[in-house]
């Protein structure tokens, strides 16, 4: 188990370094000079050179990569070209929006999807099955940002119950801040819940046909005991896998939703940094996203070991 | 038999009393709110500024938050585009135009308590014109040869050559006065002499300013205690925030097609003003066939500007015949120089040697006005046999690289935001690759005189040259589409300089 873990963590670090090199290479290939953008259409070559020097853009690529990597390892992510503040602080400021948003969306989608999926599987062709099928088809077909626009139209513009967008900051109190996350989280959760309902339904159906489930039924256990005691826990492995995968989509998909609701999250930070060619911020945010994906996948793998004893045994061998 | 039980008299009385109490309470709340006039303002902007120091970066959004609110200049440009005294209460220009002597206001302090005096003014100008300067308008200060400070209230600029636009330029956001102690941090925590102090910046969402209780200019009656600039880039979200009451004002609403959706709103009013944003389709004047004046004229005559304004900006906007707006001093209406005439355009094209037209590419930034204008233009060019391919080009990054610095393009389209920037056609290098000695001579002459009447005459001649020579296709001036609460007074309807000046903004009782 320890050996397995060490090996996985070592691989994780190597992946991160490889990813950082790839990110840096892509940034170099991006057209557009951040200094020229800052100075606008009045720039002279003299001021441009002065600013490029200030920004460290006149240094060789290998030096810039080295500085970035060394900085990142010591927690210094550099200074944003456009905002002029440390990137680490910027990312932290944005995480307090994006993380609660992502968690709320996951929570919403799990709360809706898992019971619906299980109910659909329990009575195949029943009412819940029909509802689940309709719900998941609609949720997958309808784009999240459009749902977001609809939610704004109904709950903000017409009813005035919720703010139309923006984020007042947690310092303005828990409820005002949390309130501004409800609609975007719902918009984010819908497509996810749709996929998750489908996966839960088929995972439960598959597990119901496995030997242990049949044995349990044959032994005379009640249907709900079999379902909730034996089948659902076993069906959780594929559900978790999808959740892990979806988490990445969630963070990426948040870019659109954050734009619709003008939430100052990480996705919007990345988007703005891209258009301003704030390369340092962009590098760091993309590295952060990549790291997040790698770590979440790692945690999902670990959770299999916790859930499924068979995998645990296999791992120790 | 009825299913509903009839309420007893007591019930009715109780409910009535309860209802009366609640409505009285609500009314009282409403009254107290109305009595104490609002002192906060939530103002929306489409673009978040990148840093808050207008003296080190060009984006107009920086000035739109800070200029006249946090930072002030020696002089200012007022609502009508006129130069007015500010931190300099008066000035004298020597007859040869080479010495400017400013008398400064006394008792002015920066928000951190540092005094504003001639030393601070000298520091500011030296910083802007120095070797390490990254001021986006460094060229404004190029003719300042030396600066004297005989006493704390006197600032003397010695110029190497007369610079007729100097006073106007000193009114720009990029020329604001900064404190020697605080200037290094202005990008994140701006410190100025203005009526509002910087309070906080939640990046990606909003900037907060609060009233400066020690503001030097006692003749100004400041009514707002707190101002929040909120940044919303999506037009739908902008409209929703206004309608939901999250915002009190959006002085530069970004979606003309949504303007009609505010009609009939009991709370909001819309205002259509002018800006300095000139939408022009610049051509690479050294590249074939655009090096032939007849071709450029033919393309101009092929365009019905009214239709372009309709298609691109829902009919809001003013057609122009040169690189000049009706706001600017000495404006001449030159829309008639090369009016829309497809038949004439075709004939002129044949005369230039292109009877069967030609094919070229326009590099179009993604800002809404550009692709929309380009599509309308494409159809009009097709009428005279010219094929225009549209190539979307990301702005600012790719556009600056390809068009602005690389000058590798046939035609492009962009809104020029700088006020009074007709001199860009004399800059070398500049992306139009336009070279006209007569025009350059005029631009020089304008700087040699400080007399406004003489300047206006010269600006008139310059406009005529451009209208005739068409280095770019002059399309229209962007409108300033303002949407704000009917009770809000004092916001600028026009925009002689990109700004949101809040000095005189107040809520009606």
Report pLDDT digits (tens) over B263-292. Answer: 899 999 999 999 999 999 999 999 999 999
- Segment B26-79, tens digit of pLDDT: 444 444 444 567 999 999 999 999 899 999 998 899 999 999 999 999 999 999
**Amino acid B414: pLDDT:** 96
Q: Shortest CB distance from B134 goes to which of A51, A153, A156?
A: A51
Three-class SS of residue A159?
A: coil
- CA–CA distance, A84 with B184 (Å, rounded to integer): 11
Q: Do A83 and B203 touch (CB under 8 A)?
A: yes
Exposed, middle or buried by CB within 10 Å (0-12, 13-18, 19+), for B128?
buried
Q: What percent of chain A has pLDDT over 70?
A: 96
**Amino acid B7: pLDDT:** 44
**Contact indicator for B407, B432 with CB cutoff of 8 Å:** no
* B64: in domain: yes
Exposed, middle or buried by CB within 10 Å (0-12, 13-18, 19+), for A131?
middle
Backbone conformation region of residue A66, classed left if phi is above 0, alpha if psi is from -120 to 50, else beta: alpha
Average pLDDT over all residues of chain A: 86
Tokens of A311: 């995998």
Distance from CA of A192 to the nearest CA of B (A): 23
Residue of B nearest to A155 (CA): B244
Set of chain A residues whose Cβ sits within 8 Å of the Cβ of B243: 157, 164
- CA–CA distance, B185 with B56 (Å, rounded to integer): 11
Q: Do B136 and A36 touch (CB under 8 A)?
A: no
Residue with tokens 């000193």: B170
Q: Do B234 and A262 touch (CB under 8 A)?
A: yes
**Contact indicator for B126, B90 with CB cutoff of 8 Å:** no
Q: Shortest CB distance from B202 goes to which of A31, A153, A169?
A: A169
**Contact indicator for B66, B133 with CB cutoff of 8 Å:** no
Instruction: Give phi and psi for B71, each to the nearest 5.
Output: -105, 145
Distance from CA of A288 to the nearest CA of B (A): 18
Note whether B316 and B194 are same-domain residues: no
* B11: in domain: no
Q: Shortest CB distance from A37 goes to which of B204, B233, B396?
A: B396
Count CB neighbours of B185 within 10 A: 15
Tell me chain B's radius of gyration from C-alpha atoms: 27
Note whether B329 and B245 are same-domain residues: no
Residues in chain A: 317
Residue of A nearest to B415 (CA): A41
Note whether B252 and B312 are same-domain residues: no
User: Distance of alpha carbon A35 from its chain centroid, rounded?
Assistant: 31
Note whether B466 and B501 are same-domain residues: no
- CA–CA distance, A184 with A163 (Å, rounded to integer): 11
Which residues is A121 bridged to in the sheet? none
Q: Do B397 and A42 touch (CB under 8 A)?
A: no
Q: Do B139 and A44 touch (CB under 8 A)?
A: yes
**Contact indicator for B81, B188 with CB cutoff of 8 Å:** no
Q: Do B397 and A31 touch (CB under 8 A)?
A: yes
Q: Write the secondary structure of B235-304 as one string of H (helix), E (strand) and C (coil).
A: HHHHHHHHHCCCCCEECCCCCHHHHHHHCCCCCEEEEEEEEEEEEEEEECCCCCCCCCHHHHHHHHHCCC
* Cα separations in angstroms, B32 against B38, B39, B246: 11, 14, 21
**Amino acid B346: pLDDT:** 96
- Segment B220-264, tens digit of pLDDT: 999 999 999 999 988 888 999 999 899 999 999 999 999 999 989
* B21: in domain: no
Q: Shortest CB distance from B404 goes to which of A31, A41, A263?
A: A41
Residue of B nearest to A87 (CA): B203
Q: Shortest CB distance from A264 goes to which of B204, B236, B416?
A: B204
Set of chain B residues whose Cβ sits within 8 Å of the Cβ of A166: 205-206, 230, 232, 241, 246
Set of chain B residues whose Cβ sits within 8 Å of the Cβ of A254: none
Tokens of B426: 């004399």
Which CATH number is B280's domain given? 3.10.105.10
- CA–CA distance, B177 with B281 (Å, rounded to integer): 35
Q: Do A38 and B133 touch (CB under 8 A)?
A: no
Residue of A nearest to B52 (CA): A83
**Contact indicator for B274, B257 with CB cutoff of 8 Å:** no
**Contact indicator for A89, A101 with CB cutoff of 8 Å:** no
* A93: in domain: yes
Cα torsion A72, A258, B250, A93: sign: negative
- CA–CA distance, B8 with A83 (Å, rounded to integer): 68
Set of chain A residues whose Cβ sits within 8 Å of the Cβ of B405: 33, 36
Interface-testing mutation among B138, B396, B403, with chain A (most A C-beta atoms within 10 A): B396
Residue with tokens 């029943």: A126
- CA–CA distance, B46 with B61 (Å, rounded to integer): 9
- CA–CA distance, B269 with A204 (Å, rounded to integer): 57
Is A215 a residue whose pLDDT tops 60? yes
Q: Do A50 and B400 touch (CB under 8 A)?
A: no
Q: Do B244 and A31 touch (CB under 8 A)?
A: no
Residue with tokens 């990148």: B50
* B504: in domain: yes
Which CATH number is B150's domain given? 3.40.190.10
* B284: in domain: yes
Residue of A nearest to B235 (CA): A260
Residue of B nearest to A47 (CA): B134
* Cα separations in angstroms, A315 against A3, A12, A183, A297, A299: 10, 18, 42, 17, 15
Average pLDDT over all residues of chain B: 92
Q: Do B401 and A50 touch (CB under 8 A)?
A: no
Taking the whole predicted model, whether its pTM rises above 0.90 is answered as no
Q: What residues make up the domain containing A238?
A: 87-310
Set of chain A residues whose Cβ sits within 8 Å of the Cβ of B232: 165-166, 262
* A316: in domain: no
* A242: in domain: yes
- Segment A36-67, tens digit of pLDDT: 888 877 777 888 888 888 888 899 999 999 99
Tokens of B248: 């009190």
Which CATH number is A189's domain given? 1.10.3720.10
Q: What residues make up the domain containing B91?
A: 36-266+485-508
Three-class SS of residue B351?
A: helix
Note whether B232 and B337 are same-domain residues: no
**Contact indicator for B252, B417 with CB cutoff of 8 Å:** no
Q: Shortest CB distance from B401 goes to which of A32, A261, A278?
A: A32
Q: Do A33 and B138 touch (CB under 8 A)?
A: no
Set of chain B residues whose Cβ sits within 8 Å of the Cβ of A278: 50
Residue with tokens 């990254």: B134
**Amino acid A276: pLDDT:** 84
Distance from CA of A58 to the nearest CA of B (A): 15
**Amino acid B146: pLDDT:** 97
| Alpha-helical runs (H) found in B36-165 | 60-66, 118-129
pLDDT tens digit at each of 509 positions of chain B: 334 444 444 554 555 555 555 555 544 444 444 456 799 999 999 999 989 999 999 889 999 999 999 999 999 999 988 999 999 999 999 999 999 999 999 999 999 999 999 999 999 999 999 998 999 999 999 999 999 999 999 999 999 999 999 999 999 999 999 999 999 999 999 999 999 999 999 888 899 999 999 999 999 999 999 999 999 988 888 999 999 899 999 999 999 999 999 989 999 999 999 999 999 999 999 999 999 999 999 999 999 999 999 999 999 999 999 999 998 999 999 999 999 999 999 999 999 999 999 999 999 999 999 999 999 999 999 999 999 999 999 998 899 999 998 999 999 999 999 999 999 999 988 999 999 999 999 999 999 998 999 999 999 999 999 999 999 999 999 999 999 999 999 999 999 999 999 999 999 97
Residue with tokens 């003397």: B156
Set of chain A residues whose Cβ sits within 8 Å of the Cβ of B58: 38-43
Set of chain B residues whose Cβ sits within 8 Å of the Cβ of A42: 58, 136-137, 139, 418
* B22: in domain: no
Note whether B286 and B236 are same-domain residues: no
**Contact indicator for B18, B26 with CB cutoff of 8 Å:** no
Exposed, middle or buried by CB within 10 Å (0-12, 13-18, 19+), for B428?
exposed
Interface-testing mutation among B40, B138, B205, with chain A (most A C-beta atoms within 10 A): B205
Q: Do A44 and B202 touch (CB under 8 A)?
A: no
Number of structural domains (chain A) is 1
Which residues is B85 bridged to in the sheet? B75
Distance from CA of A66 to the nearest CA of B (A): 25
**Contact indicator for B502, B196 with CB cutoff of 8 Å:** yes
Parallel, antiparallel or unpaired: strands B154-159 and B99-104: antiparallel
DSSP code, position B6? P
- CA–CA distance, A266 with B231 (Å, rounded to integer): 16
Residue from B138, B119, B140 nearest B130 by CA: B138
Residue of B nearest to A264 (CA): B204
**Average confidence (pLDDT) over A99-122:** 91
Q: Do B136 and A169 touch (CB under 8 A)?
A: no
* A71: in domain: no
Set of chain A residues whose Cβ sits within 8 Å of the Cβ of B136: 38-40, 42-43, 47
Residues in chain B: 509
Number of structural domains (chain B) is 2
Note whether B462 and B498 are same-domain residues: no
Three-class SS of residue A271?
A: helix
Note whether B224 and B316 are same-domain residues: no
* B138: in domain: yes
Q: Write the secondary structure of B40-73 as one string of H (helix), E (strand) and C (coil).
A: EEEEEECCCCCCCCCCCCCCHHHHHHHECCCECC
Interface-testing mutation among A27, A30, A166, A281, with chain B (most B C-beta atoms within 10 A): A166
Q: Do A275 and B396 touch (CB under 8 A)?
A: yes
- CA–CA distance, B14 with B444 (Å, rounded to integer): 85
Q: Do A259 and B241 touch (CB under 8 A)?
A: no
Q: Do A50 and B203 touch (CB under 8 A)?
A: no
DSSP code, position B338? S
Does ipTM exceed 0.90?
no
Task: Give the count of alpha carbons within 13 A of B407, CB side only.
Answer: 11
**B497-B498-B502 Cα angle (round to 5):** 95
Q: Which residues contact A308 (CB under 8 A, 6 or more apart)?
A: A234, A237
- Segment A221-269, tens digit of pLDDT: 887 888 888 888 888 888 888 888 787 777 767 888 888 888 999 888 9
* B193: in domain: yes
Note whether B374 and B451 are same-domain residues: yes
Residue of B nearest to A55 (CA): B134
């Amino acid at each position: 188990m320890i050996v397995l873990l060490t090996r996985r963590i070592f691989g994780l670090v190597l992946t991160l370094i490889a990813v950082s090199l790839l990110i840096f290479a892509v940034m170099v290939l991006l057209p557009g000079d951040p200094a020229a953008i800052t100075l606008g259409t009045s720039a002279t070559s003299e001021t441009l050179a002065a600013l490029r020097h200030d920004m460290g853009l006149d240094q060789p690529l290998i030096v810039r990569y080295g500085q970035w990597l060394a900085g990142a390892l010591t927690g210094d992510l550099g200074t944003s070209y456009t905002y002029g503040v440390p990137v680490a602080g910027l990312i932290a400021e944005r995480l307090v929006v994006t993380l609660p948003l992502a968690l709320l969306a996951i929570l919403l989608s799990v709360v809706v999807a898992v019971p619906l999926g299980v109910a659909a599987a329990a009575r195949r062709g029943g009412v819940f099955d029909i509802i689940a099928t309709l719900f998941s088809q609609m949720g997958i077909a309808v784009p999240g940002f459009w749902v977001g626009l609809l939610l704004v139209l109904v709950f903000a513009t017409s009813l005035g119950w919720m703010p139309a967008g923006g984020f007042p900051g947690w310092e303005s109190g828990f409820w005002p801040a949390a309130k501004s996350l409800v609609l975007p989280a719902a918009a984010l959760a819908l497509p996810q819940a749709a996929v998750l309902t489908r996966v839960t339904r088929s995972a439960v159906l598959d597990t119901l046909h496995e030997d242990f489930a049949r044995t349990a039924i044959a032994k005379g256990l009640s249907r709900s005991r079999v379902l909730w005691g034996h089948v659902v826990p076993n069906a959780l492995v594929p559900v978790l896998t999808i959740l892990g995968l979806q988490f990445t989509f969630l963070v990426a998909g948040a870019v659109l939703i954050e734009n619709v609701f003008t939430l100052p999250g990480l996705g919007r930070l990345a988007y703005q940094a891209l258009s301003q060619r704030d390369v340092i911020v962009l590098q760091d945010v993309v590295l952060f996203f990549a790291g997040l994906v790698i770590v979440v996948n790692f945690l999902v793998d670990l959770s299999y070991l916790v859930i499924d004893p068979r995998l645990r045994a296999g791992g120790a061998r | 038999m009825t299913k509903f039980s009839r309420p007893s008299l007591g019930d009715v009385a109780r409910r009535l009393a309860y209802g009366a109490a609640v409505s009285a309470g609500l009314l009282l709340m409403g009254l107290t709110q109305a009595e104490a006039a609002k002192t906060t303002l939530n103002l929306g902007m489409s673009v978040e500024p990148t840093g808050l120091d207008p003296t080190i970066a060009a984006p107009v959004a920086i000035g739109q938050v800070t200029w006249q609110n946090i930072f002030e200049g020696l002089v200012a440009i007022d609502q009508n585009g006129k130069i007015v005294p500010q931190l300099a209460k008066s000035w004298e220009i020597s007859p040869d135009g080479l010495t400017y002597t400013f008398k400064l206001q006394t008792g002015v302090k920066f928000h951190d308590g540092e005094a504003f005096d001639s030393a601070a003014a000298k520091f500011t100008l030296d910083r802007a014109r120095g070797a390490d300067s990254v001021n986006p308008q460094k060229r404004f200060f190029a003719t300042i040869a030396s600066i004297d400070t005989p006493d704390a209230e006197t600032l003397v600029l010695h110029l190497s050559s007369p610079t007729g636009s100097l006073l106007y330029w000193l009114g720009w956001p990029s020329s604001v006065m900064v404190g020697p102690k605080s200037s290094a941090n202005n990008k994140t925590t701006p410190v100025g002499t203005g009526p509002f102090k910087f309070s906080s910046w939640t990046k990606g969402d909003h900037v907060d300013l609060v009233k400066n209780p020690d503001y030097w200019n006692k003749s100004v009656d400041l009514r707002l205690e707190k101002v929040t600039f909120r940044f919303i880039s999506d037009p739908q979200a902008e409209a929703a925030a206004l309608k939901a009451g999250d915002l009190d004002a959006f002085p530069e609403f970004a979606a003309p097609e949504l303007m009609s959706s505010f009609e009939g709103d009991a709370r909001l009013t819309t205002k259509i003003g002018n800006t300095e944003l000139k939408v022009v389709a610049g051509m690479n004047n050294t590249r074939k066939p655009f090096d032939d004046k007849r071709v450029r004229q033919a393309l101009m005559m092929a365009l019905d500007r009214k239709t372009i304004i309709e298609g691109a900006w829902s009919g809001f906007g003013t057609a122009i015949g040169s690189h000049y707006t009706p706001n600017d001093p000495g404006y001449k209406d030159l829309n008639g120089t090369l009016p829309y005439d497809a038949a004439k355009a075709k004939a002129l094209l044949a005369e230039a040697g292109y009877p069967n037209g030609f094919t070229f590419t326009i590099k179009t930034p993604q800002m809404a006005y550009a692709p929309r204008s380009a599509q309308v233009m494409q159809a009009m060019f097709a009428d005279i046999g010219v094929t225009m391919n549209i190539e979307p080009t990301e702005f600012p990054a790719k556009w600056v690289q390809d068009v602005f610095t690389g000058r590798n393009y046939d035609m492009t389209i962009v809104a020029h935001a700088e006020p009074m920037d007709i001199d860009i056609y004399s800059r070398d290098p500049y992306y139009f690759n336009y070279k006209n000695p007569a025009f350059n001579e005029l631009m020089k002459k304008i700087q040699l005189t400080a007399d406004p009447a003489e300047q206006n005459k010269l600006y008139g001649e310059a406009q005529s040259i451009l209208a005739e020579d068409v280095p770019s296709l002059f399309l229209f001036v962007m409108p300033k589409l303002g949407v704000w609460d009917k009770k809000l007074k004092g916001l600028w309807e026009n925009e002689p300089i990109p700004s949101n000046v809040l000095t005189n903004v107040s809520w009606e009782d």
